């Protein structure tokens, strides 16, 4: 009996591990790590977005901005992107979703030199706008964000 319970718990842990890796932290953000530097990861992400039919609206290189005012900042780039097929239904559900759309992902170099991939937990964002967790457009947006970032993560 004991070994069956332990085996079941172990199996559940193994199955849940990939899900937990994308679970939001206490700060409402989802984090992943990439094996390439920030610049390479951003370029790869842009290609993934292009291949999936998403539009890149802006690339914000925070380190270059800091450099312009004689300050140092480790590589940090924000990619702002979207797809009206996903975003429009979210705004139809709650027009205030426009405050958090288009979507954005931050790529930055941490203190260990690793590239971090970070984005807001869409469940928390949508809840703040009154969009139900089971809304089809939200489910689609969450799946897209997870797949897009996983394509460039370790």
> Residue written as tokens 């390479």?
40
pLDDT value of position 21: 47
User: d(Cα 81, Cα 79) in Å, to the nearest integer?
Assistant: 6
Instruction: Tell me whether residue 111 is exposed, middle or buried, using C-beta atoms within 10 angstroms of its C-beta: 0 to 12, 13 to 18, 19 or more.
Output: exposed
pLDDT value of position 24: 79
* Domain range list for the chain: 26-150
pLDDT value of position 145: 97
3-state secondary structure of 105: strand
pLDDT in single tens digits along all 154 residues of the chain: 433 333 333 333 333 333 334 567 888 999 999 999 999 999 999 999 999 999 999 999 999 999 999 999 999 999 999 999 999 999 999 999 999 999 999 999 999 999 999 999 999 999 999 999 999 999 999 999 999 999 999 9
Considering the four listed CATH numbers 3.30.450.20, 2.60.120.10, 3.40.630.10, 3.30.310.70, the one that applies to the domain covering 26-150 is 3.30.310.70
Q: What is this structure's pTM?
A: 0.84
CA angle 23, 29, 35 (to 5 degrees): 80
pLDDT value of position 25: 80
Nearest to 93 by CA among 125, 123, 138, 54: 138
């Amino acid at each position: 009996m004991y070994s069956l319970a332990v085996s079941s718990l172990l199996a559940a842990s193994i199955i849940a591990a990939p899900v937990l890796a994308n679970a939001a932290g206490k700060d409402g953000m989802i984090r992943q790590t990439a094996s390439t530097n920030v610049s390479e990861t951003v370029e790869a992400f842009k290609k993934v977005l292009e291949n999936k039919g998403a539009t890149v609206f802006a690339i914000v290189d925070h380190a270059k901005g800091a450099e312009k005012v004689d300050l140092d900042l480790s590589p940090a780039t924000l990619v702002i992107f979207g797809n009206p097929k996903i975003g429009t239904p979210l705004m139809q559900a709650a027009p205030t979703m426009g405050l958090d759309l288009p979507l954005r992902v931050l790529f930055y170099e941490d203190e260990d030199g690793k590239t971090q991939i970070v984005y807001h937990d869409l469940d928390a964002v949508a809840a703040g706008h009154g969009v139900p967790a089971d809304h089809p457009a939200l489910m689609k947006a969450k799946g897209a964000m997870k797949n897009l970032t996983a394509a460039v993560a370790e």
